[in-house]
Structure 1
């Protein structure tokens, strides 16, 4: 399942978001604001806050705890203790870059200010693009300059793994697994499964991609929801999801596979391999996935790669859709994007996934595996009707009719 959303030293230094090589990034954006009664202009305040964040970012990469804490107001004891713990957790994570991009700065009286900033960071050797996190900072003006008295995620922003506890790191051949509240044995097992999944994806998906994945394993379902910035209840039965921006230009932003420890742990070895191969496919296809890509194709293709060559029958892979077909409830249309919502009926969600997989099975069987992959890439650049016409010389109506016939043939004795 892919969640569609929308680095590191700071200015003049390399930064990071969640994966990749270090690269020089542009200076932080200095936004003007109204002047204050002390005589300094809004631009001056922004410049001073920007320098403070630059120093803080450099301290993260240098492992300089005193310099990192020096950006905080001495009187903000609770904040300083929390930031001290997070800094030490960060020391275990292989950061390649870390940078703040300063946005709006609003003065509050003579000695106060509130600033919006975007944290961008990458994991060394893994991220080609940064993970971005919106932060809300509260500051106070001291004789020595501006100091931070509050640092929290912006409204709706997700937590980061190191904010949830001590992070354990396991490096695989094709994977980097970061976990909180997990044993080393469990994380090594996840890395081993991911290391098998990545080559399977590469054998099917011919376009260039990183050929490695980053897997986050939080301590609980609630922590998974916090990492996604979404209600945890919607992911209760979901073993893993992949985050990342679709339809991006330039370097592809960092992807993360986030594991639901309870649901994933309940699976057998085969199920775990299917899940991580499915999610690794989303990482591989990210650069070719856009708003024009229908969910049935995105999710169906990931399942098609995962189940390809497994020897499992359609009846075993698509039990919910098989029950519906046997009951005379043959779907009238291919699954719509709304059918893949986690907030609806679990059986309906399963039928959507199964229907997408069987649509991709049909295309690969009738037109060939290469044409299926070509359709995926083309659908990321152009509306589906045009992509179907160009690649398969068919129409949505004709494909839907063929798919309904295919369901009957594959799911009934």
Structure 2
């Protein structure tokens, strides 16, 4: 059979089918692979048009209406990578990684999952019909409407559904917060912040990819990876405008300074850093220089001490969960703040700074606080806890 040079008429069709199957498997790209490559080419053109801010060129790749929502955002990078394509006739759904970079703020691109709906015409040309966050992926601000951008000296504020005047007020708060944080932490961080102000609590929840109920009453949060390298994307301070509007002028400033502290300390915050320290330190920086007394800044803890309920130990990470009682959450934050306030008062602000960094440097939680207490403050956890409890009685009794 190996030497046979001919086949019968009946053998021609099966042999051709076999050759087609072999080509489809390895000799040449399959139709699905070709479609994926074709879609990638269209998205490469689309990304270039976004960076060129050319709506006409974007329209040649499909829907361009959404570009008006993102037009004001200064972009240093914008690219798509197709990770999966699911075709059904003349339509398809693409799983895509969008990588974008805000000019002057992000040291590296932010990567987010997106889902694109596409159509193909008779000539085989693909077009984007719709783009949205991937399942379980957070929204981007432009998914919620047209983005307005306001620049401060040390900040960039991006908002949806907010007046320019209100966005300027956030820039003013951030511009005061940045030097206040640098005065304590030093200038070895970016020295600027990105603030996102959605239209409502629901918008905040959308940006975080979580239910709105998780953040009701929370004025702002900061996103970012703890222990992130220097070239990580910039953190985002995300505001809950509903809760923020209920704060007085001092409260608004304390919150922005608190969140800015998280941005500054992110690289030195690790899995070893307990929340009582990271949140307590941020509150300490926020209240520093305001003249607020312990009783004024820690009303829930003051009431507990007055009732003879001095905490037995520093709060656990679980005590900072948003699902618990509001009073319990407030006491957790106030406990962390008073612990950091004690360190600053007894050992000095530089020692508090060094203690924070030393805890984060341990990388793992077991022994991190104990080691830093010994190395930096010359004490141990048992004695420090006793000193803190006595400090509460003195300051809040």
1:220-259 CA-partner distances (Å, limit 9, x unpaired) = 1111111111111222211111111212235122211111
Cα distance change, pair 228–107 in 1 and its aligned pair in 2 (3 A) = closer
Cα distance change, pair 379–49 in 1 and its aligned pair in 2 (3 A) = farther
* 1:271-290 equivalence runs, <5 A: 271-290=251-270
Match of 2:272 in 1: 292
The count of residues paired between Structure 1 and Structure 2 equals 367
Aligned counterpart for 1:266 among listed residues 246, 255, 263? 246
Matched, 1:152 2:142: no
Query: Which deviates more, 120-129 or 212-221?
Result: 120-129
Match of 1:71 in 2: 61
By percentage of residues, which structure has more helix? 2
SS at match of 2:157: strand
8 Å contact 1:242–1:279 — kept in the other structure?
yes
1:128-152 CA-partner distances (Å, limit 9, x unpaired) = 2333211123444542344334432
Q: TM-score, normalised by structure 2?
A: 0.86
Q: Structure 1: which 5+ residue stretches go unaligned?
A: 1-33, 73-79
Q: Which has the higher contact order (CA 8 A, sep 6+)?
A: 1
Q: Structure 2: which 5+ residue stretches go unaligned?
A: 1-23, 363-367
| Structure 1 residue 181 displacement after superposition | 1.5
Match of 1:122 in 2: 101
* Whole-angstrom CA distance in 2 between matches of 1:99 and 1:180: 23
Aligned counterpart for 2:387 among listed residues 369, 394, 402? 402
Aligned counterpart for 2:373 among listed residues 388, 406, 411? 388
Larger Rg: 2
- Aligned alpha-carbon RMSD (Å): 2.2
Cα distance change, pair 381–111 in 1 and its aligned pair in 2 (3 A) = farther
Matched, 1:220 2:223: no
Q: TM-score, normalised by structure 1?
A: 0.83
* Whole-angstrom CA distance in 2 between matches of 1:205 and 1:141: 55
8 Å contact 1:130–1:254 — kept in the other structure?
no
1:18-76 CA-partner distances (Å, limit 9, x unpaired) = xxxxxxxxxxxxxxxx969x96266544433332222111111101213223333xxxx
SS at match of 1:121: strand
Match of 1:351 in 2: 331
8 Å contact 1:252–1:287 — kept in the other structure?
no
Matched, 1:164 2:144: yes
| Structure 1 residue 120 displacement after superposition | 1.8
Match of 1:76 in 2: none
Cα distance change, pair 207–336 in 1 and its aligned pair in 2 (3 A) = farther
Matched, 1:363 2:353: no
